[in-house]
Each structure stands twice: as C-alpha cells, then as structure tokens.
Amino acid sequence: MTVEMVRADNVHKSFGSLEVLKGVDLVVNAGEVCCVLGPSGSGKSTFLRCVNHLEKINAGKIFVDGDLVGYHERGGKLHEMKGKDVARQRRSIGMVFQRFNLFPHMTSLQNVMEAPCRVKKESKAEVRERAASLLERVGLGSKIDAYPGMLSGGQQQRVAIARALAMRPKLMLFDEPTSALDPELVGEVLDVMKDLARDGMTMVVVTHEIGFAREVGDQVVFMDGGVVVEKGSPAEILANPKHERTQAFLSKVL
C-alpha cells in the first residue's frame, strides 16, 4: 500500500497583492523522489516553504504524512497551531536551503548536533556518535571540527544535509540545493542526494539539474505562473513534454 507523504490540495499563496501560488495540487508518495522544475518566479520555492509552514498559505490544504500542516481541524473549523505544535511538525521534515544557512558560530559537528540535542533532548553522547557517522556518510568525517567558514560551498551543503538528517526526518525538502555552488562542486552534493534516494527517503527537490531529475526522480513536476503545468514520470515530461510552456522551458535548459 502506498502512503501519501505529501498532499497539496488547491494551495494558494499571496505576498500582498502578488499571487504566487494559484492552486497547486500535488501528491508525493512515501519513498518517492519528486523533482520540481520551472522558471524563476514560478512559485516552486514558495511552494516548498509552504510544506513545512515557513510560509502561511492563504487557501487550500497541505498534508504531510496525513497531518494537516499548520492548523488543527476541529468541528469543521480551522485553528491556527501554536508555535510549539508547528515546531513539532517541522521536526520530521528536513529542509536544505540554496544558501546552506549553516550556523557559522558552530563547528560542523555542533551544527548537526544542535537540533537533536536542543529539540529532542536526546543524550549528547549518543547524538555526537550519530552526528559523526552522518558527517562520515556525506564524506566529511575529517571536517567535524571545521567551522562553516573554512569549508567549500559543496562541503557546507553536505553538512547542511547531515544536519537535516540528524532529526531522522520522514521527508526531505531541497530548495535549489546546488544553485549556489561552483559547477565542479555540484556533483558531490548530488551524489549525497542520490545516495539518500536509494535509501528510500521521500524527497521533494526544487532544482535546475535536469540530469538529476531524469536519473533519480520518480515524478517530475513542471511549474509555471503559480500552477503545476505538467507532471508525470521523468521519461514522459523530459523526453516528450505535452505542454508548450514545458517544451519552451526544456528547450532552453537542455
């Protein structure tokens, strides 16, 4: 039986008078890798930020693993969640940012240990061991005491992935994880992500890496103008897109 990890129903989001999402529908099953493509300003990053409630949506519903994100539903009425409850939901959703956003005053190891120690209050020794092995897994076993400022972009992004994994998330969100990297560093980050996908992690990846989408994606979604224009398997979407906007976009990036 397939479990729906993410379900978005008719999601709308505006910033002031600017409507960024105009009714997005999407389902990502557990264990699936969903790659979201689209031109700048198409709303793909905003949508990703709505999934863990970094942005409040104005209409529609988002469910993660069956739970409504950001609201309690009681007697047909929506109640805004308290900060504490939103934080609890976010624990199981890892997020990786375009600009890494590592904490510069902490070493790699401290970055990875911070959330399990402070949020889940796990024992320090246990977390330290797990954090070290996570850093080992992303190929940075020798950098556990380095501060982010001493690491290359690719290394920083791999620490950021390890930091998100330390909370044992059931869903990982990637917001253009390789867009701020030098071309020669992109590969090392994509390798870590491929490795994660092979392990069965559910991932939603906003990316411009068409090659990654083709190789790893189970589902490719093309967004433009705040709506999902087309979605399907990578073979369908990337090889013979039906919609002309998809065709136009792919002809530019391929």
Partner 1 sequence: MSDQTQTDRARPEPIKAVPVRHPGRWLAIAVLAVLTAMFLHLILTNDQFRWSFIFNSYEPGKRGVMFTEPVLEGLRGTLLLTVTSMAIGVVFGVVIAIMRLSDNWILRGVAFVYTWFFRAVPRLVLAVLFGNLNILWDRIGFGLPFDQQIGKLFGIDDLNAQFYSVKASDLLAGFVAGMLALGLSEAAYMAEIVRAGIQSIDPGQAEAATALGLSRSQVLRRVVLPQAMRVIVPPTGNEVIAMVKDTSLVAFVPVTFELFFQLNAIKARTFVVLPVLVAAVIWYLIICTVLMVAQYFVERHFGRGYGTAGQARQRLRNIQAEQGSSSTAGGVT
Considering CB under 8 A, how many residues would be counted as binding partner 1?
Answer: 36
Neighbouring-strand partners of residue 78: 73
Q: Which helix (H) or strand (E) holds 132?
A: helix 124-137
Q: Among 36, 95, 159, 165, which residue sits at the site for partner 1 (rule: CB under 8 A)?
A: 95
**CB 141, min distance to partner 1, A:** 8
The binding track of 104-123 with respect to partner 1, each residue x by CB under 8 A or -, is xxxx------xx--xx----
- Candidate ranges 3-11, 102-110, 189-197, 217-225; the one touching partner 1 (CB under 8 A): 102-110
Given strand 227-232, what is the order of strands in its sheet? 93-96, 171-175, 202-206, 33-37, 219-224, 227-232
Q: Which of 66, 75, 76, 149 binds partner 1 (CB under 8 A)?
A: 149
Q: How far is the CB of 241 from partner 1 (least distance, A)?
A: 32
Residue 83 exposure: Cα atoms within 13 Å on the Cβ side: 0
Q: Which of helix, strand or coil describes residue 197?
A: helix
Contact call for residue 155 and partner 1 (CB under 8 A): no
Dmax of the chain from CA atoms? 55
CB of 229 to partner 1, least distance (A): 27
Q: Which of residues 163-222 bind partner 1 (CB under 8 A)?
A: 163-164, 167
- Residue 187 token pair: 């590969």
Helices 153-165, 183-198: crossing angle, 10 deg rounding = 20
Site membership for partner 1, residue 87 (CB under 8 A): yes
Segment 30 to 59, residues that bind partner 1, using CB under 8 A:
52, 54
